[in-house]
Amino acid sequence: MVSCVASYLYFLKQTCCFYFSIKTSNLFENPTLPFFIHHFSLMENPFNLFLLTVFISTTAAAASDQITNIFGANHSFFLFPRNFLFGTASSSYQFEGAYLADGKGLSNWDIFSHEPGNIVDGSNGDVAVDHYHRYHKDVELMEYIGINTFRFSISWARILPKGRFGNVNIAGIKHYDKLINALIEKGIQPFVSLTHYDIPQELEDRYGGWLSPQIREDFAYYASICFKHYGDRVKYWVTLNEPNVVAIRGYRSGIYPPARCSATFGNCSSGDSEREPFIAAHNMILAHAAAVNLYRAKYQGEQKGSIGIAMNTVWYEPISNSSQDKQAAQRAQSFYMNWFLDPIMFGKYPEEMENILGSLLPEFSDDRLQNGLDFIGINHYTSFYVKDCLYSTCVQGPCISKTEGYYLRTATKNNIPIGEPTEVDWIYVYPQGMEKMVTYLKNRYNNTPMFITENGFGEMHQAGSSINSFLNDDKRAEYMKCYLDSLVSAIRKGADVRGYIVWSLLDNFEWSSGYTTRFGLYHVDYTTLKRTPKSSAQWYKQFILNFTSFEAVNRSTS
């Protein structure tokens, strides 16, 4: 009898956790439960315990129906681990503005965006959304949603206007001190990237930026300054954001700075698309390693933080079940993502790259590369089909060249898209891609801790669009729900994922798209810079509220 009672008590505890998490979320009220608890002597009469369990289970099931109406059948917020981070993201160039304020130097994006033809709407990030001057208000917007982490990047050129060839800009140091303190005061953990596409233009002019080994020393020097000044409060560091995108768009297609490419790959004044992406990538990998080794040797023991890298990820689905197309999908991952993660984790480039590229790949001589991160940041938005072009004939299209891996990337199969198309031409809604991507990384890299460092839904700013058309962004909320459900599925199968960060808090400057694409949970009027919450901000707020309510009840009863 005692063991039966113990079993019932355990089940009752779990059911009560569920019940009270819903009750604290104000989804329903039931005044009769206190009567049951007060008048039933549970241990003296186990049958009363059974009746109470049935009662709570029934009312909890009713609440579950109400949750289903709001969040969908999976009730994802109940299934994330304790201490899970929910946040939003930004980057210095896209948000801050103040591009010459308080001693900041010019970055590569300051120069690039001012050159005619580089940004589709002719805009730049001189003002952006003026986060530099409005960060206090923006932190209040974060507090309203209820996030517990905010991912932002430090402007390298704001801290070191001339790299290691000049002085530290104290005004820049103080700005990020104030931002970090403002976040912590609101219970929001800073999740900090050292660079998010931008580097001081001084380094580009002096020695060619990422094409020179000298940048490794510059990056380590810059990282050390950041660790020294902010590491007592920053517990999550990202060395590089999407270095694969920097290498490909900066040195293969030339659509990002420094705008280098060969004539067959883009319209650039100089460059070598066959070689330079691999040189730049090699220096980024070694710069990452230098920062990680420095952090581990000098700062991590005392500061107790963790350090990783954030990769742009795409789920590549074989277009058929043929072995050639399956190999092509694996090759696509190796030439896009594993290109960086394999050297960082295993000390060498992927076998598929070595077999195809041979001497085009630089060699590693530093055995300190292995296990060179504490977590993997996953920026994930979309998925594509992949067709083999190594053993099969392909028409012209994306990624078919030798340096890209001999595969054809396509969004359609038999004229049917892989997922619902969106207004942003590279985003297809394929939620399964999230689970598949996370599971792939789990299996390849021994379930290294992971964070979803970006996931978001974009809409195009059409001429004449009303503000209401952007505020009523139900598609964004649905996108987030579906991708969170998919993420939960991966977590339930053992993936060590510790956070989910939405791109983005605010509409902002979206690189070569300028201000034509909106990803924010808050709408920004680019004339007045007024921030207005969209429906998706309200949805995310309610999602987080229910998660934190459930977590709090779980803690109090454990």
d(Cα 395, Cα 418) in Å, to the nearest integer?
20
Q: Cβ distance 37 to 52 under 8 Å?
A: yes
d(Cα 383, Cα 556) in Å, to the nearest integer?
41
Two structure tokens written together for 76: 């994802």
Alpha-carbon radius of gyration of the chain: 25
Please report which helix (H) or strand (E) contains residue 406, including its range: none
Distance (Å) of CA 402 to CA 7, 132, 163, 282, 312: 62, 43, 35, 18, 21
- The catalytic residue among 435, 454, 510, 551 is 454
The alpha-helical segments, DSSP class H, found in 154-200 are 156-159, 170-185
d(Cα 496, Cα 438) in Å, to the nearest integer?
9
Asked if the bond preceding 504 is cis, omega within 30° of 0, the reply is yes
How are the residues of the chain apportioned to helix, strand and coil, as percentages rounded to the nearest 5?
50, 15, 35
DSSP state of 331: H
The alpha-helical segments, DSSP class H, found in 25-169 are 32-39, 46-71, 92-95, 108-113, 131-145, 156-159
For this structure, is 185 an active site residue? no
Q: Cβ distance 395 to 407 under 8 Å?
A: no
Map tokens 């023991």 to a residue.
Answer: 301
With 0-12 CB in 10 A as exposed, 13-18 as middle and 19+ as buried, what is 321? exposed
Map tokens 């007045």 to a residue.
Answer: 528
Residue 173 is which amino acid? I
The alpha-helical segments, DSSP class H, found in 347-416 are 351-357
Degrees, nearest 5: CA angle 124-129-135: 140
d(Cα 487, Cα 139) in Å, to the nearest integer?
27
Map tokens 């942003």 to a residue.
Answer: 424
* Helix, strand counts (H, E) of the chain: 20, 17
Map tokens 């355990």 to a residue.
Answer: 10
**Residue 444 Ramachandran class (φ > 0 left, ψ -120 to 50 alpha, else beta):** alpha
The alpha-helical segments, DSSP class H, found in 295-431 are 300-303, 323-333, 339-346, 351-357
With 0-12 CB in 10 A as exposed, 13-18 as middle and 19+ as buried, what is 414? exposed
Catalytic amino acids?
Answer: 454
